Amino acid sequence: MVTRLALVLGDQLSPAISSLAASDPDTDVVVMAEVQNEASYVPHHAKKLAFVFSAMRQFAGELTQLGWRVEYARLDSPGNQFRSFSEVIGAAIARLKPERVVVTAPGEWRVLQEIEGWAEKFEIPVEILEDDRFVCSRNEFTTWADGRKSMRMEYFYREMRRKTGILMDGDAPVGGRWNFDSENRKPAPSTFSPPAPIRFAPDETVHDVIAMVNDLFPERFGDPEPFWFATTRTEAEAARDDFFDNRLQLFGDYQDAMAMGERFMAHSVLSHYLNIGLLDPLDLCTRAERAYREGRAPLNAVEGFVRQIIGWREFVRGVYWREGRFYTKENALAADIPLPEFYWSADTDMQCVAEVVRQTRDEAYAHHIQRLMVTGAFALIAGIDPHDVHEWYLAVYADAYEWVEAPNVIGMALFADDGVVASKPYAASGAYINRMSDYCGSCRYSVARKTEEDACPFNSLYWDFLIRNEKRFRSNPRIGRAYATWARMKPMVRKAYLARAATLRSRLRDGTRV
Ligand code: FAD
Ligand code: DLZ
Ligand code: SF4
């Protein structure tokens, strides 16, 4: 007799997850399944598919070793016709006749709604348990956010510091300040070349998955190989230690910097392990703090790293659930240009965008500033349809799940949520990219030019964006001053900016090369 079916989803690969903590290896069965819908609800990058399926298979092995009975459905096993989680669970209920189903709450409204229908559909009790791998529960976030005029990450982050005691000396932040971000904006010197992240050779499980991905999803963006991601917990922990030993020291200073060919800079490249459950966020923060206290890393690096995890990561999750299931449809700025083809092909003369898309295709990875200030800022100022942009980000990055991707894209990068996540739009001209990278040096466009045919497209699109959205942003204290600069320009210059932007936007609309 089976008492419970514990369904473990592909991003729930943690042995202590609530669904397993509530189950018993002696009486209960764990169900895991590779399903068509999950592989296809957006056209995930081939490397992301290889990563998720490999890590799922490795985790099923880990659970078996721990004494669990695991029923695992592979997409390539004959007879696996499962298109959805509902089909998986329906078949398992029919076969194993459990008393109840237990599952940890999924990371997306789409899947939550599906699961919420199961009790009635299958006439069985279904327990949906809190995902307690986060520092802040959904309820706690709601309590924090209720009654505030606006939700700001910085205040939320301070609460999380107090709650966890990370980087705290009693009631005060270590170093006397909560935030050292102003020290984390240095451009990288031309000699900057931090040690690359550690690479793992694919084992037999990974080789099998790569063959399956090539066979079943041959048209997907990117290639599963070369494949070097960790897929087991032990490997992910080695990737974590490699970051702490070799890159954390530089993480702070060069957090916002970009350089041709330097795909990872001093970033941790750990988000895909965290989001899938192979690493634990609090454990990472505790280790980072220890590195600071033992004199192995400076405070600006450690505080910056901790802020990304117990600040931004927790904050965007709270926003995702609080804003509701139509959040991904928001389009406050009425942006409507379809996603340009070069987001897939990298076929554009804009060196910065081409470089980020190429590296995204090769690695299923780009670091934060590349996502925010290159592909994100371009989409923002050009007026690309946020839903298209959202689906692109959800597909192309190995760490992308809607709960974390959508607030970053819809909110932070595109301001499509009208300022829920960001207090200002992250709009910038080419000068920002030129300051923070060496991309412009090898670009066909000139970053110094404003309105000519060879002028950097960011320059005119930036002003055009501000003018198109003047009503909304003129009184924004963080960007409003730009309107005074605009007012001081000669009318002819202003006219030329708008004309150049109109040409670019119509090229984007009709697919002419930019
Ligand atoms: P590091 O720079 O080393 O940072 C350390 C950790 O902090 C990351 O591993 C991540 O877990 C966390 N973190 C940092 N910034 C954020 C943030 N803004 N939101 C949430 N967590 C953060 N992150 C995702 O995990 N999945 C996504 O799908 C995703 N989409 C994004 C889309 C856009 C437009 C933007 C601007 C950001 C997005 N981010 C996303 C946040 C961030 O870019 C990535 O977490 C980070 O680049 C991952 O690389 P890393 O592990 O080297 O991060
Ligand atoms: C991302 C992903 C993919 C590609 N495939 C599967 C899958 O076949 N089976 C599975 O359980 N999970 C998969 N996932 C992760 C899910 O999409 C994720 O658990 C939900 O979107 C909820 O966040
Ligand atoms: Fe990008 Fe403009 Fe620099 Fe070219 S000149 S790399 S388009 S910012």
| Tokens describing residue 392 | 């692109």
Give the span between the Cα atoms of 50 and 236, in whole angstroms: 15
Give the span between the Cα atoms of 388 and 372, in whole angstroms: 16
Q: How far away, in angstroms, is 397 Cα from ligand 3 center?
A: 23
- The pLDDT confidence band at residue 182, using thresholds 50, 70 and 90, is confident
Q: How far away, in angstroms, is 237 Cα from ligand 2 center?
A: 22
Atom of ligand 1 nearest to the CA of 255: 2
Phi-psi category of residue 418: left, alpha or beta, with phi > 0 → left and psi -120 to 50 → alpha: left
Give the span between the Cα atoms of 54 and 406, in whole angstroms: 25
- Report the Cα 503 to chain-centroid distance in Å: 32
**Residue nearest atom 7 in ligand 2 by C-alpha distance:** 34
Residue 384, pLDDT above cutoff 90: yes
Residue 121, pLDDT above cutoff 80: yes
pLDDT for res 331: 98
Sorted by sequence, the CB contacts under 8 Å of residue 252 that are 6+ apart come out as: 180, 183, 184, 298, 300, 301, 302, 303, 304, 305
Burial of 215 per CB tally in 10 Å (0-12, 13-18, 19+): exposed
Residue 340, pLDDT above cutoff 90: yes
| Tokens describing residue 9 | 């989803």
How do residues 495-506 score in pLDDT, each as one tens digit?
A: 999 999 999 999
What would be the CATH architecture of the domain defined by 342-510? Orthogonal Bundle (1.10)
pLDDT for res 39: 96
Atom of ligand 3 nearest to the CA of 353: 1
Pocket test for ligand 3, best of 260, 350, 356 (most atoms within 8 A of CB): 350
Collapse the DSSP code of 340 into the 3-class scheme (helix H, G, I; strand E, B; otherwise coil) and give the result.
Answer: coil
| Closest ligand (CA of 75) | 2
Atom of ligand 3 nearest to the CA of 433: 8
pLDDT for res 150: 87
| Tokens describing residue 84 | 């959805």
- The pLDDT confidence band at residue 419, using thresholds 50, 70 and 90, is very high
Q: Is residue 51 a contact partner of residue 229, using CB atoms and an 8 Å limit?
A: yes
What is the DSSP pairing of strand 69-73 with strand 4-7?
unpaired
Pocket test for ligand 2, best of 7, 19, 38 (most atoms within 8 A of CB): 38
Residue 352, pLDDT above cutoff 90: yes
- The pLDDT confidence band at residue 181, using thresholds 50, 70 and 90, is confident
- The pLDDT confidence band at residue 134, using thresholds 50, 70 and 90, is very high
User: Which protein residues touch ligand 2 with a CB less than 6 Å away?
Assistant: 9-11, 33-35, 38-39, 44, 49, 52, 106-108, 111, 401
| Closest ligand (CA of 455) | 3
Backbone angles phi, psi at 66, to 5 degrees: -80, 0
Sheet strands (E) in 177-329: none
**Residue nearest atom 7 in ligand 3 by C-alpha distance:** 350
How do residues 22-39 score in pLDDT, each as one tens digit?
A: 999 999 999 999 999 999
Task: For residues 284-311, give the mean pLDDT.
Answer: 97
| Tokens describing residue 212 | 């399956």
373 lines ligand 3 (CB under 6 A): no
Task: For residues 433-442, give the mean pLDDT.
Answer: 97
What is the DSSP pairing of strand 100-104 with strand 126-129?
parallel
- Which pTM does this prediction carry? 0.98
User: Which protein residues touch ligand 1 with a CB less than 6 Å away?
Assistant: 267-271, 274-275, 305, 308-309, 312-313, 316, 367-368, 371-372, 376, 393, 397, 399-400, 404-405, 408-409, 412-413
508 lines ligand 3 (CB under 6 A): no
Residue 459, pLDDT above cutoff 80: yes
| Closest ligand (CA of 375) | 1
| Tokens describing residue 278 | 């192979």
Give the span between the Cα atoms of 5 and 102, in whole angstroms: 6
**Cβ atoms within 10 Å of 148's Cβ, excluding its own:** 10
What is the DSSP pairing of strand 168-169 with strand 172-173?
antiparallel
Residue 80, pLDDT above cutoff 80: no
**Mean pLDDT, the chain, whole residue set:** 97
Q: How far away, in angstroms, is 439 Cα from ligand 3 center?
A: 7
**Residue range(s) of every CATH 3.40.50.620 domain in the chain:** 4-129
Q: What angle do CA 361, 365, 367 make, to 5 degrees?
A: 130
Q: Is residue 445 a contact partner of residue 378, using CB atoms and an 8 Å limit?
A: no
504 lines ligand 3 (CB under 6 A): no
Residue 79, pLDDT above cutoff 90: no
pLDDT for res 78: 85
To the nearest 10°, report the CA torsion of 289, 295, 296, 299. 50
**Residue nearest atom 4 in ligand 2 by C-alpha distance:** 39
H or E element in which residue 369 lies: helix 368-370
Q: How far away, in angstroms, is 35 Cα from ligand 2 center?
A: 8
**Residue nearest atom 1 in ligand 3 by C-alpha distance:** 352
Task: For residues 190-201, give the mean pLDDT.
Answer: 93
Burial of 163 per CB tally in 10 Å (0-12, 13-18, 19+): middle
Q: How far away, in angstroms, is 348 Cα from ligand 3 center?
A: 11
| Tokens describing residue 432 | 């920002």
What is the DSSP pairing of strand 4-7 with strand 29-33?
parallel
The secondary structure of residue 111, as a DSSP letter, is: H
What would be the CATH architecture of the domain defined by 4-129? 3-Layer(aba) Sandwich (3.40)
pLDDT for res 183: 87
Peptide bond into 25 cis (omega under 30): no
Q: Is residue 495 a contact partner of residue 373, using CB atoms and an 8 Å limit?
A: no
**Residue nearest atom 15 in ligand 2 by C-alpha distance:** 10
Q: For the chain, how far is it from start to end, CA to CA, in angstroms?
A: 64
Atom of ligand 2 nearest to the CA of 8: 11
Tell me which residue has tokens 């702070």.
Answer: 252
- The pLDDT confidence band at residue 81, using thresholds 50, 70 and 90, is confident
Answer whether CATH 1.25.40.80 is correct for domain 138-197+247-323: yes
Length of the chain in terms of residues written: 514
How do residues 358-377 score in pLDDT, each as one tens digit?
A: 999 999 999 999 999 999 99
Backbone angles phi, psi at 369, to 5 degrees: -70, -30
Task: For residues 99-123, give the mean pLDDT.
Answer: 98
**Residue range(s) of every CATH 1.10.579.10 domain in the chain:** 342-510
Atom of ligand 1 nearest to the CA of 274: 11
Q: How far away, in angstroms, is 270 Cα from ligand 1 center?
A: 9
Tell me which residue has tokens 């890159």.
Answer: 247
**Residue range(s) of every CATH 1.25.40.80 domain in the chain:** 138-197+247-323
Using alpha carbons, select from 498, 426, 432 the residue that is nearest to residue 468.
498
| Closest ligand (CA of 57) | 2
How do residues 2-21 score in pLDDT, each as one tens digit?
A: 999 999 999 999 999 999 99
Backbone angles phi, psi at 320, to 5 degrees: -55, -50
In the sheet that 4-7 helps form, which strands lie side by side, from edge to edge? 69-73, 29-33, 4-7, 100-104, 126-129
- The pLDDT confidence band at residue 443, using thresholds 50, 70 and 90, is very high
Give the span between the Cα atoms of 173 and 30, in whole angstroms: 43
Backbone angles phi, psi at 31, to 5 degrees: -115, 130
- The pLDDT confidence band at residue 494, using thresholds 50, 70 and 90, is very high
pLDDT for res 395: 98
